Structure 1
């Protein structure tokens, strides 16, 4: 159970009701502070709809952070979202293997994006060699978007964990399909 109440549109001022356009538990918790929810959603919306980074690569970076953080919410939500943007089961299986340090048949750019996301997650940032390799396959705008995406989702998984946000029942099949190691 979340550490703050899940609010509904009925609980909000008229100007804040659009913050619950996506009826998910994360947003229902964040609207306990509408200004924070608005700021959070602004960057999240840019990353979903405005980024120059390829959508599949973006989702792989987010999934990598979710996997490393063992964030059931982030992992389950972005498996579903990832499917919508071209992530395949083979990609997810490769991400899990890459996280264990195993070689995979994943395309080189995707492997590099996953490595960069792992380095952002581990901190303090992307290593020099990885950044140099990114420059050979992504332009500066896409690199910035990758860094912002991985960094933002490092924050997201910490928000989810700190507020103990529940995974909605409709996302549970994704956790069952790709469970975290025990």
Structure 2
């Protein structure tokens, strides 16, 4: 028996899709994600939301000025803050592949601030945590982020944090279950 509660709103049955749901499903499935899973599948109940969120998600995931390692760092922080197991499972491997160290990933999983050797990683982590914990950043952190990342990257980072907040809320509220039988230890317990 699973320790995860039953999903509240499963994805719509593809055999019952209307024309717009089929169109959005096919557009998402044929893109870089290669399929429609998790929160994207839940959004198909409202195909226009799925379409708009998919567009924003594609930008946030693939087209920002942030290095993929920094993007994945921000996504993992968001997944950790929200306890979104599904998001963590998807992005841990992407973060490793993008070059984020296993030690940093483990510290984030344990809900501890990693020791960073890279100023960009440190400021992305600090902005991400502050944004989620206080829904703001103070003047000193803002100045540091502008100095280290620049305006464009900071705008992209804030947009990405907003998008992955939407993802995490969808996962949590509709109880999108983790994949398989190997959830990340302790991620959802805190």
Give the alignment's TM-score, normalised by structure 2.
0.81
Alignment of 1:69-84 (within 5 A): 69-84=82-97
Which runs of 5 or more residues in structure 1 are unaligned?
none
Distance 1:138 1:100 in 2: 23
Which of the residues 138, 142, 164 maps onto 1:127?
A: 138
User: SS of the counterpart of 2:124?
Assistant: helix
Q: CA offsets, 1:132-166, max 9 Å, x none?
A: 00112112111100111112222221121111111
More helix per residue: 1 or 2? 1
Give the alignment's TM-score, normalised by structure 1.
0.85
Which of the residues 129, 147, 154 maps onto 1:136?
A: 147
User: SS of the counterpart of 1:3?
Assistant: coil
Distance 1:133 1:113 in 2: 10
Task: Give yes or no for contact 1:55–1:85 (8 Å, CA) kept in 2.
Answer: yes
Alignment of 1:1-182 (within 5 A): 1-12=6-17, 13=19, 14-21=22-29, 22-96=35-109, 99-101=111-113, 104-169=115-180, 173=182, 175-176=184-185, 179-180=187-188
Moved over 4 A (4+): 178-182
Q: CA offsets, 1:24-45, max 9 Å, x none?
A: 1322211111111111111111
Distance 1:19 1:9 in 2: 14
- How many residues end up aligned between the 2 structures? 177
